[in-house]
Amino acid sequence: MSFFTDLARQYIDGEWRDGSGSWDNIDVNPYNGEKLASITIATTGELDLAYRAAQRAQKEWAATNPYSRRLVFERALRTIEDHEDEITAAIVTELGSTRLGASYEVHLAMEFLREAIHLPLRAEGRLISSPVDGKENRVYRAPVGVVGVITPFNFPFLLAVKSVAPALSLGNAVVLKPHEEAPVTGGALVAKVFEDAGLPGGLLNVVITDVAEIGDAMIEHPVPKVISFSGTETVGRHVATVCAAHFKHAILELGGNSALTVLDDADVDYAVDAAVYSRYVHQGQVCMAANRILVHRTLEEEFTAKFVAKVRALKAGDPAEPDTAIGPVINSAQADAVAAVVAQATAEGATVLVNGRISGNLVEPIVLSGLPADSPVMKREIFGPVALLVPFEDEEEAVRLVNGNPYGLSGAVHTSDVERGVNFARRIDTGMVHVNDGTIQDEPAVAFGGEQHSGLGRLNGEQMVEAFTTQKWISVQHGRSAFPF
């Protein structure tokens, strides 16, 4: 099967169909500019069909025995396992992801499917005691109904599976809108996996479209009760506002400005390895990437020399080659944005330690130091292969530097004293901090999410039950109540 030929369509109510919009979404390989597919976009009419199909199919699905629902996810997992190499290659082609990054994405998607297999049995109810004699309080868990999922271009297959699989496993139906730069691996391919796994038609619908065509219809539509969004802070803020106006629950996984902190007793070689990976994997286009690398003054010279040497050795180029560490950024606009950040930083006095070239969408690794602490660049997310090295004098200054930005998604600290690292981590205003590891971590059973401008809510593990189910209180009065009138 050629994914970019056979799956370049909408998937609505169990059928593959063309959109009826007036223009096409052109899917291209960001490394060589090759046209992969041309997909006529969906209109608000098709979006309505998708939501109505989901609404119709959901009731019967919710009533299905949870043990039977699990079988779909077991088959979906086997489908991905059987086609792992093809899916990995498609991600490399569509996103410019390196083979290492694409393999990691597919592996983690399979881990989330393994977790989804068990979720149907976790939506447990409770019996709660009552102060009223003869009263029994039952609190049931019920699916929310229909979930709208909006995913970004980075790790699109993983981030789609991460919300779609648990929402479905808990008895909901889903309408998925992938990013326009990842319509196949972030959308149509996910639909194909579940179609092959025997998911009944209508439960998962994929609409390939753009806000220029549908505006806010994806989140304003009356059918979905929950919107799961992964993307930028700016768009996430808008999604939250619209959801609130329509009494919908928003789950937001937004940007980050993560810091990896190297304390004075750290293993420098290990910290360098963690920092290089945390900054440059997938060209730095990761919300958890370590934008800022904070190093104690006593280690600054040694760490900088080793970090720069390792970065210079990273191979940039064709992401299809197995030894390539740095592939292209997603498009020319992103490459221009990276160039603008570097120009701003150097204008503010930053020293360029590694001056990677920018050619088309290929941005070679860049390392900057000496940026003023009050620079706007220090407070923003850089979605590209640019590292900022920042020295500090003591832990108090390090904490201030780490917390001195509006984001709070991930972070890491390196030290030979684990408890010192834990105490440092507890002072950091982020949802996730990793001691003696990289900033890029995601595990299906552990709560994932950020603080401040990095999002709302949590995903993974038991948090999926909170996100995609609601609670219903049903009381039973045994005997007769006494009413005052």
- At residue 261, what is the residue type? T
Catalytic pick among 115, 180, 253, 364: 253
Q: Which residues contact 419 (CB under 8 A, 6 or more apart)?
A: none
- Cβ-proximal residues to 125 (8 Å cutoff; 6+ apart), any chain: 138, 139, 140, 141
Asked if residues 242 and 68 have their Cβ atoms less than 8 Å apart, the reply is no
Residue 200 in contact with residue 53, Cβ under 8 Å? no
List the catalytic residue out of 105, 111, 181, 287.
287
C-alpha distances in angstroms, 321 versus 144, 262, 276, 324, 365? 44, 32, 20, 6, 17
Element (H, E) at 294: strand 290-296
Is 287 considered catalytic here?
Answer: yes
Q: CA torsion, points 295, 426, 289, 84, in degrees to nearest 10?
A: 130
Strands (E) in 356-403, as ranges, are: 358-359, 362-363, 366-369, 386-392
* CB contact at 8 A, 415 and 421: yes
Cα 468 to Cα 172: distance, rounded to the nearest angstrom: 8
The dihedrals phi and psi of 30, each to the nearest 5 degrees, come to -70, -15
- Residue 200: burial class (beta carbons within 10 Å; 0-12, 13-18, 19+): middle
Which residues are catalytic, by number?
253, 287
